[in-house]
Structure 1
Amino acid sequence: MSSDEKVPKTQLDDVLKQFGMFGRYHSKLILLIGLAYASNAAFCANYIFAAEHVEYRCKDETFAINKCGVINGSRCTEWVYEKEDSFMAEYDLACQDWKRTLVGTIRSVAYMFGLLFVGPLSDRIGRKKALVLTGMTGGVLGIVKSFSPNYASYMVLEFLESAFGDSCSPVYILNVEIVTTKKRVPFYVICGIGYAIGGVIQAFIAWQVPDWRNFLRVLYAPALLFFLYLYLLDESPRWLLTKGRKNEAVAIIKKMAKTNKITVEEKTLDGLVRDTDGDNDLGFRSVLKSTFTSITLFKRFIVCVIWWITSTFVNYGLTIASVTLQGNRYLNFAIVSVVDLPGYFMVMYILMNYRRKIPLIITFFIGGAFCVGQPFLPLYLAWLSITMFMIGKLMASMFFMMTYMYTSELFPTYTRNSMHALCSSLGRIGSIAAPQMPLLAPIWTGLPALIFGITSLVAGLATFLVPDTANDALPDTVKEAEALGKEKPKAIGNAPENLDKSGVRNRSFEWTE
């Protein structure tokens, strides 16, 4: 090709369309990303079993009836615990249940602040390096946490592990950036099965390893293998292109093609671009400022924060409540995790056929209605109460998954991970409050569920304020992000492919390669 001949520009999505979602390369990615999600799910809720509630009584039988009260001007000073090797027994937390629930709250507070570090770190050093760094940090600190000599040191390590050892944000962004727009939803959903698997594995470990210190060691030890991801995983080509590292992005795409035994034309790779309107020349603060000075994007940011607060609050709240249901607590927790599986595939089908906005609104409303209605059921209808609980949890997992996807599609590439992490970080206000909800049960047993329901209904109403993104490629610039949901000019000579009556392109997604 002569130097005077112009190379036609090629968008990354046009290249990624050539790769099947179940080819060898992406099949390996599903496994690696799914394992990362599984570890994240297990670590995030470890306190439910590590710091579980155990029954206790005062050693002095005088306090048998009023064990935590004052009798004749004195209080109980020595306790007998149902499990002497439990978290509560070792740290002597009798009559201080707030210290036990504070573990979950501290974890969420730390995660909220940690995302402000992890998100920008991922945008700066890349998705792969951020995943490896946070994954291994979480494993090391989790194991060290199991050796805590006292309650204070445990809480410090819980904070550090949650703040700097959570790999979910970078692995999720890599998840949605490595495939084309059409395959974004199914690829994320299939990888997301790892969340459910992680919950089941956690319950099994807790069941088989009742000692809380050994439970933490067995749970966190596999995270030390995250260093292997340096060799098993590739960086996001989309991120490399936004950083001006085109040669590295092209090399990865060639590797993908070789693995899948397909051919990508050289002229296509030569013309590969991601137009960022000069954003690459700006610092992170400048790009972030350009995002927030856009009234349109700032409004979306507020709505996303509402989504995240609701999603974390309701999901964590219902997950914590699952171990209080009748029956085996470990099986109940595993069942609640498995309930999420049909939700994943329901989300995939819905988002591929019925856009983003309306399905999210509907799941918020249905979940809210079931949570609000559950406390008012007759006490003798236990089966109906549990059914409503499971449906409410199913809806909660669905709108949490939609929130993850929707948020990442509303902001430009250069700040996508940072904005996603910021929304998730502020949204942890919900998971901060969730562990404290059991403390409201003595006021009225149905109060926590009622609060979960009302919060879901409010989030559903807020969703009316954002555009739909079903037919749009991931935006790279603020200008492209602002244009999301706006009517595009009709193509000349070619009808838009795969459009159904609702205008959704993805309806005819093909599972075959």
Structure 2
Amino acid sequence: MADSAPLLLPSYTSASEETHPPLPLPLPLPQHCGVDGDKHAVRSIDDAIEACVGRTGSAQLLRAIFVALAWVFDAQQTFISVFADAHPSWHCTDTDARACSAAAASTPCGLPPGAWAWDLPASASVVSDWALECAGPSLVSLPASSFFLGCVLGGLVLATLADSALGRKGMLFASCFIMSLTGILTAFSPNVWAYSALRFVCGFGRAMVGSSALVLCNEMVGRKWRDRISICGFFCFTLGFLSLPALAYANRRSSWRQLYLWTSVSSLCYTILLHFLIHESPRWLFVRGRRDEAVAALKHIAVSAGSNSVNSSFSSLYNVGGEETWNADVFSAVKMLYEKKWAFRRLAAVMIVGFGVGIVYYGMPLNVGNLGSNLYLSVTFNALAELPSSLVTFLLIGKLNRRGSVILFAAVSGACSVACVYIASPAWARMAVEVVSFFSACTAFNITLIFAIELFPTCVRNSAISMAREAIVLGGALAPLLVAEGRKRGLFVSFGVFGLAIGCCGLFAACLPETRGRSICDTLEEEEHKQTIDSSATV
């Protein structure tokens, strides 16, 4: 097809105008993820979809919120090791008080068998179930580290599939299915090695849940709701995180295997419903040249929006040429990100910011045990801190400058994290400062992901978001090592390094262009054209 083949949009006509059809609006859809022809007359896919489906209806919003529920199960699998792999408390049973007091300050490893006992049933934790209380820190932290390493590898291998072969819904379904199935199998692990291997596979599959759900939510709704529907995902992640202390506390005298079953079986049921209830993103289908499926998805969305407000004829949407070939292989999107200098600079800056945010975001919940407070309460306070973070983002995202907000919240989180090292008493003060640090990191996390969505066009958006989350998870993979070292060498190795990392990395947001109030683009060339216009307006 010619690069400037027009896409004729459905018209909105009154009864008196039916005999005088309006002129078609041209929408170039070139083969190479770009726009040609008269740049000033270009209409984007975004304009076409908005014209076809009209306003965003309640049914459409409910489906987008249902997609966002994937974050609930994502959060549960991410932080479940805080309870399943916890070091349980113990007490001495030996009548020799002297021998008991000699070991009570550290571990029961020096006591003879029968001289001590766990406070809870041995099956309550992986550590007590498999007698890992005297094992080295590398073995005890192996399951958690394996999970995050799986996330890193999964992000690298699967990142471009949502932009190329599988699509947003296909990738989300596959990721949720792998995460759910391996979570169920984890409950039947015979030893720590099989357990760690299954956690690795779970992390590999889970790597794309958040990014695929986030992008699919955004592409299911109109412009008015994009910012807010993204934050619904953050709310759902908070709900998943917040549900864990409650489930773990109710399960404290049962096996850790039950905790995996409760979370994974419900996740599998959600995955099955997702397959039957949710359509693929019409925006992605158009970019891929799958016109029949795109029109079918748009018709479904239009009915959800209300048949009285939209034109029911979508035949003109078929006026697109052959199938797109710009991302024929699964790594084309990543190649395009690296070949375009402006895209590479944006991706590098977002990933550096994400790395610093990820260290604190994933590290703080793992590190609360070093504060000496109740584990269930500490994790609950951290989970509760995500609620006001999501609420602040929801209420203010339309007014917040992305660049300045990321820098500000990263700096506050870093300062409070370092303060945890030097505030020894009272204990509530140090906990309060830690919660403020986590709250700021959560807010920076939320804004960074929304920022990344606005920075990259549709044809590479999922890959870019995946790489940004990859950097966040990489920071999370480093966090358990810092937490373990902090137990031995002092709080500065954990809280201090956390603070310095997020504070310094957050400064790289200054390298990114401000995106508040800008519409999102669908092609790389469209984004470049917008940069040219913005530069001319500035001059």
TM-score interval, smaller chain: 0.7 to 0.9
Task: Say which of 48, 58, 69 aligns to 2:82.
Answer: 48
The reply on whether 1:130 has 2:171 as its aligned counterpart is yes
* Alignment partners' CA distance in 1, 2:529 and 2:111: 66
Q: Does 1:81 align with 2:115?
A: no
Q: Structure 1 residues 274, 441: CA separation in 2 closer, same or farther (over 3 Å shift)? A: farther
Matched, 1:458 2:504: yes
Match of 2:72 among 38, 47, 66: 38
**Are 1:100 and 2:140 matched, yes or no?**
yes
Going from structure 1 to structure 2, the CA distance change for 1:75 and 1:190 (only over 3 Å counts) comes to: closer
What is the CA-CA distance between 1:264 and the residue it aligns to? 2.4
Which residue of 219, 226, 238 maps to 2:263? 219
Task: Give me the CA root mean square deviation.
Answer: 3.3
Paired residues of 2:160 and 2:333 also in contact (CA < 8 A): no
Q: Which residue of 2 aligns with 1:145?
A: 186
Equivalent residues of 2:67, 2:213 under 8 A apart: yes
Paired position in structure 1 for 2:289: 244
Residue 475 of structure 1 aligns to a residue whose secondary structure is: coil
- Is contact 1:200-1:338 (8 Å) kept? yes
Q: C-alpha separation between the residues in 1 aligned to 2:280 and 2:532?
A: 32
**Residues 21 and 27 of structure 1 are in contact (CA less than 8 Å); yes or no, is this contact kept in structure 2?**
no
What residue number does 1:447 align with?
493
- 1:291 counterpart (337, 344, 349): 337
Alignment CA distance shift 1:277-1:471 (3 Å): farther
Partner of 1:376: 422
CA distance in 2, matches of 1:464, 1:198: 32
Choose from 389, 392, 406 the match for 2:451.
406
Q: 1:451 to 1:3 in 2, by over 3 A?
A: same
Give distance in 1, aligned partners of 2:298 and 2:187: 42
- 1:158 and 2:213 equivalent? no
Deviation track 1:461-484 (CA, whole Å, cap 9, x = no partner) reads: 211111112233223223334456
Q: What residue in structure 1 maps to residue 32 of structure 2?
A: none
In 1, the alpha carbon distance for the partners of 2:86 and 2:181 equals 22
Task: Answer with 106-115 or 55-64: which moved more.
Answer: 55-64
Identify the residue that residue 432 of structure 2 maps to in structure 1.
387
Counterparts of 2:274 and 2:334, CA distance in 1:
29
Answer whether contact 1:102 1:435 (CA < 8 A) is retained: no
Once the two structures are superposed, residues 419-456 of structure 1 have per-residue CA deviations (whole angstroms, 9 ceiling, x without a partner) of 22123224422111112233213322343111111111
Match of 2:442 in 1: 397
The amino acid that maps onto 1:213 is R
Aligned CA distance change for structure 1 residues 483 and 317 (closer, same or farther; 3 Å): farther
The amino acid of 1:28's aligned partner reads R
Over 3 Å counting, the alpha-carbon distance change for 1:427 and 1:277 in structure 2 is farther
| 1:494 equivalent in structure 2 | none
- Over 3 Å counting, the alpha-carbon distance change for 1:154 and 1:273 in structure 2 is farther
Matched, 1:422 2:480: no
Letter in 2 for 1:476: D
Provide Cα deviations, 1:386-407, integer angstroms capped at 9, x if missing partner: 2211111110000111121222
What do residues 185-212 of structure 1 show as CA deviations (whole Å, max 9, x unaligned)?
A: 1111123211111112222111111221
Secondary structure of 1:419's counterpart equals helix
* CA deviation profile, 1:300-359 (whole Å, cap 9, x unmatched): 221122122112210111122335556543233223212211111212333311331111
CA deviation vs aligned residue, 1:468-509 (integer Å, no higher than 9, x gap) = 122332232233344566653999xxxxxxxxxxxxxxxxxx
Matched residue SS, 1:192: helix
Structure 2 equivalent of residue 501 of structure 1: none
Q: Does the CA-based 8 Å contact 1:119-1:421 persist in structure 2? A: yes
Which residue number in structure 1 is paired with residue 11 of structure 2? none
In the alignment, structure 2 segments of 5+ residues that lack a partner are: 1-18, 28-42
Matched, 1:109 2:172: no
Structure 1 pair 472–34 and aligned structure 2 pair: CA distance change class (3 A)? same
Aligned length: 486
> Structure 1, residues 56-108: CA drift from partner, whole Å, max 9, x if none?
579987586258999xxx97675743332221122211232512223222111
- C-alpha separation in 1, matches of 2:322 and 2:372: 55
Q: Which position in structure 2 is the counterpart of 1:65?
A: 102
* Contact map agreement 1:119 1:170 (CA 8 A) in 2: no
**Residues 385, 222 of structure 1: alpha-carbon distance in 2 compared, 3 angstrom cutoff:** same
Find the aligned partners of 1:431 and 1:323 in 2 and give their Cα distance. 17
**Separation in 2, partners of 1:414, 1:449:** 39
Q: Give 1:497's aligned residue.
A: none
Kept after mapping to 2: 8 A contact 1:315/1:397: yes
Alpha-carbon contact 1:146-1:216 (below 8 Å) kept = yes
Q: Which residue in the other structure is 1:300 paired with?
A: 346
What's the % identity of the aligned pairs? Answer: 22
Letter in 2 for 1:95: C
Is 2:217 aligned against 1:175?
yes
Q: Distance in 2 between matches of 1:45 and 1:276?
A: 46
AA aligned to 2:186 is K
Query: Which deviates more, 33-42 or 468-477?
Result: 468-477
Separation in 2 of the partners of 1:234 and 1:20?
18
Offset at residue 239 of structure 1 (A): 0.7
| Aligned mate of 2:228, from 171, 181, 186 | 186
**Closer, same or farther in 2 for the Cα pair 1:2/1:114, shift >3 Å?**
farther
TM-score (normalised: structure 2): 0.81
User: Given the alignment of the two structures, is residue 11 of structure 1 paired with residue 44 of structure 2, yes or no?
Assistant: yes
CA-to-partner distance for each residue in 1:361-411, whole Å, 9 max, x for gaps? 11111111211223222x233332222111111100001111212223222
Shift of 1:178: 1.9
Q: What's the TM-score, normalizing by structure 1?
A: 0.85
Matched residue, 1:280: 326
What is residue 264 of structure 1 aligned with on the other side? 310
Relative distance call for 1:269 and 1:324 in structure 2 (3 A) is farther
Which residue in the other structure is 1:199 paired with? Answer: 241
1:88 counterpart SS class = helix
